[in-house]
Amino acid sequence: MRILRALPILAVLALPSAANAGLDFTGCIRDNESSLACTAAAPALGGARGLALAPGGGQLYVATQDDASLGTFSVDGTTGALSFARCVQSPSNRNGTSGECGASVVEGLQYDTGIVLSPDGRFAYTGGLRLNVFARDITTGALTYIGCADGGAAGSTCTAHNGAFRAGVNGLAISPDGDTVYATSDYLATVAVPSPSAHHSALLIFNRDPATGLLSDGGCAQDAGSPAGCAVVGDGMLGPLGVAVSPDDASVYVANRDTNAVSIFKRELAPPHALTPAGCIMQDGSATGCARTAHGLTRPTYFAMAPDGKTLTVASDMGSTAVLTRAGDGGLSFSGCIKLNGVAGGSPEDACANSPVGGTGGEFYVTPDGRNAYSGGRGVNGLAVYARDPSTGFLSFVECFRDTLVSNVIGCTKAAPALHGVGQMQASADGHHLYVSVQGQFTNEGGLLTFARTADKLVTPKPGAPKTIPVPSGAKLTLPLTCPTGITEFCSGDVVVTTAGAVASRRLARVKVSRHTEGGKVLVRVRLPRSQRRAGARLHVRITRRNANGSTTRVTRVVRLVKRHR
C-alpha cells in the first residue's frame, strides 16, 4: 500500500455562515454611579463579572469585583427583562464607596469574581478575599449569609480553613454531584526572578455538606515546585485561574496563566472524590513539560465546558481562545483556536482562525442547548456570536457587536450600549435571552445587558468530492476534495481511494488529510492503474473526518472520470 500526503496548504480558515443564529439588544442596567448609556440603574454594579442563574430562571445573581457586592435581580419569565431586587456589599471596595446595599453587609466580598449555586439551588458560593456561603430561599431567591472559608489566619471568623488559601479566590466551580467546591488561589512572593518556589499556587478543595451547605477542608493540589504544602501534585500549576469540573464528575481542569498550560485531574466518583494528576496540555513552544500541545493557550484564564462534556474552551489573556477535545478518560487534545484580529495589535497566534472579538482576558460561554457560543472580555468593547453544531462541536462565526460610543473593535456590524469589558454570560431558562455582565473600563463602571436570542440550527457540512473529473493525461490524478472548516473543526482525518466497478476493488491511496486547508479544500494525488485511465472509470472516495468533540464523520463519494476536453 502506498501512503500519500495531502498537499500542505496553509491559509486563513474559511468560516461558513450559519443560519438563524443571532442576538438583538433589548436593554441594560448600569451601576448607579456609572455614565454608561443605560436607562435603568442599580446600586453596587461596579466591575460586574460573575453570573449565576437560579434553577427555573427566576433570579440572576451578579458578583462584582470593584463594588465588592453580590446582587440579586428578578427575571421576567415572559419578556426576559431584569429588575433589581437586593444586594449585599462589603464595607470596603475598589470604588471607595460603601453602604450602597444598606444594612446588608458581608465581609470578604472584595475582588468578588465568581458565584456558583448548588445543584439543588439551596445554597450559593462566592469567591473574593474569602469563599462566602449563602443560604438561598428557593421561593423568593433571597440570599442569607451563613458562613465562609479562608486560610485560617489570626482573627479569622470563618469555620472552614485551608492552609493553601493565601491570596483570595481566582476561579470557582462546584461539582455537578454537589459534593465538592473547588477554588484556585495564587500568591506570588516578591522576588527578583520568579520561580516555582515563589508561587504559592494551589487548587483548593472543599467538601460540602449537602444539608447545611457549609464547607470543610478537603485538601489541595499544587505544582511540584510550589511551597503550598498540598498532598496532590499536578503538572504546570503556576498562576492558576479558571477551574472546571466535567458534567460526568470524572475530571477537574485548571487553567494556569504562568505556565501556558491546562492541568488535568481524574476525580474519583465515590466520596471523598480524591484527585489524581492526569497530565497537562500546554501552548506549543512552552516549557512546562506537558505531553500534549495546543495553540491559543498563551496565558489561559477561564473555561467554558460544552454541555455534553466533549469540548472544553479556554480563553486567554492574549486575546486567543483554544478549543480542546475531551476524551472518555478526561484527556485533552487540540481541536482549534480563535485569535483576536478586530483590535489593533490583537493577533497573537498565526495558527488560529481570525475573529473580530477574541477577548483579552476573555470570557467564552457555550449555551446549555449547545447551539451557540459567545465571547468577549476585558479591554475589548465587543461581543462575538458563534453558531455551534452540538453533534460535532463545529463552531462558526456569525456576527459581533461593538459598543455604541466607545469601541476599538473593527468589523462588527451591530452595536449595543455599555459593552465595556464583557464578563460572564448566562442564557435564560427558556433559552430565549442572553444576559451579559460588563466589568467596565473606568472607575464606577459596570452593568448588565440583555439580548433576545435566536438559537442556531447549524448542521456541520460534510466532506465531499466532485461527481466527475477529466481523465488525467498521465498516471497521476489530482483529486480535489472539500472538507469544510470552521473555528473549531479542521480537516483532520484520512481519505481512502479505491477503484469501483471492477470484479475486485483495488486500493489506490490512503491519505492523511492536512490539518490546515485553504477554504476547506484538499488536493489528493492518486496514481491510477492503466485500466482506470479511461472515461467512465469510477473511484470510490471514503473520507473520515475527526470532529471537534472527538466524534468522526464518514462519507463515501463516487467520482466518475470523463473525457478530457481539448
pLDDT single digits (tens) 415-460: 998 888 889 999 999 999 999 999 887 667 899 999 999 998 888 8
347 lies in a domain? no
What's the confidence (pLDDT) of residue 320? 87
Where in the sequence is the domain holding 466, given as residue range(s)? 3-12+461-562
- Yes or no: say if 533 and 475 are a contact pair by the CB < 8 Å rule: yes
The total number of residues shown for the chain amounts to 566
499 lies in a domain? yes
What's the confidence (pLDDT) of residue 405? 78
Averaged pLDDT score across all residues of the chain: 86
pLDDT single digits (tens) 479-537: 888 877 776 656 677 788 888 765 557 787 787 775 444 556 778 888 888 888 889 98
**In this prediction, what percent of the chain has a pLDDT beyond 70?**
88
- Yes or no: say if 254 and 237 are a contact pair by the CB < 8 Å rule: yes
Residue pointed to by grid coordinates 483548593: 204
| 363 vs 355: CA distance, rounded Å | 14
What's the confidence (pLDDT) of residue 382? 87
3-state secondary structure of 168: coil
497 closest CA partner among 548, 552, 561, 565: 561
pLDDT single digits (tens) 106-150: 998 988 889 999 999 999 999 989 999 999 999 999 999 999 999
Per-residue pLDDT for 343 more than 60? yes
Four-residue CA torsion sign, 89, 363, 255, 305:
positive
- Tell me how crowded residue 84 is: count the other CB atoms within 10 A of its CB: 19
What's the confidence (pLDDT) of residue 344? 61
76 lies in a domain? no
Q: Which of 263-267, 539-543, 555-559 is modeled with the greatest confidence? A: 263-267
| 47 vs 446: CA distance, rounded Å | 5
278 closest CA partner among 334, 331, 201: 331
Q: What is the dihedral of CA 357, 362, 365, 366, to 10 degrees?
A: 70
What's the confidence (pLDDT) of residue 385? 92
Q: How many domains does the chain have?
A: 1
362 closest CA partner among 414, 297, 413, 406: 297
What's the confidence (pLDDT) of residue 341? 76
Per-residue pLDDT for 4 more than 60? no
pLDDT single digits (tens) 355-414: 777 655 568 999 999 999 999 877 778 899 999 999 999 888 888 898 887 666 778 889
What's the distance, CA 252 to chain centroid? 14
- Calculate the alpha carbon distances from 108 to 17, 93, 208, 306 in Å: 46, 10, 20, 31
136 lies in a domain? no
The stretch 87-116 carries a mean pLDDT of 85
513 lies in a domain? yes
100 lies in a domain? no
pLDDT level of residue 20 (50, 70, 90 thresholds):
low
The stretch 221-248 carries a mean pLDDT of 92
- Calculate the alpha carbon distances from 189 to 128, 170, 447, 508 in Å: 20, 17, 34, 62
CATH number reported for the structural domain that contains residue 509 in this entry: 2.60.40.10
What's the confidence (pLDDT) of residue 141? 96
Per-residue pLDDT for 17 more than 50? no
Q: What is the dihedral of CA 235, 237, 238, 241, to 10 degrees?
A: 150
pLDDT single digits (tens) 294-309: 999 999 999 999 999 9
534 lies in a domain? yes
- Calculate the alpha carbon distances from 438 to 94, 127, 146, 196, 377 in Å: 16, 18, 28, 34, 9
Per-residue pLDDT for 14 more than 60? no
Q: Which of 10-19, 93-102, 362-371 is modeled with the greatest confidence? A: 362-371
For 196, list phi and psi in degrees, rounded to 5.
-55, -35
What's the confidence (pLDDT) of residue 143? 97
Strands 292-294, 275-283: pairing is parallel
- Tell me how crowded residue 500 is: count the other CB atoms within 10 A of its CB: 17
What's the confidence (pLDDT) of residue 192? 55
28 closest CA partner among 365, 418, 400, 445: 418
What's the confidence (pLDDT) of residue 358? 60
Q: Which of 34-38, 199-203, 298-302, 460-464 is modeled with the greatest confidence? A: 298-302
Per-residue pLDDT for 269 more than 90? yes
Whole-model pTM?
0.90
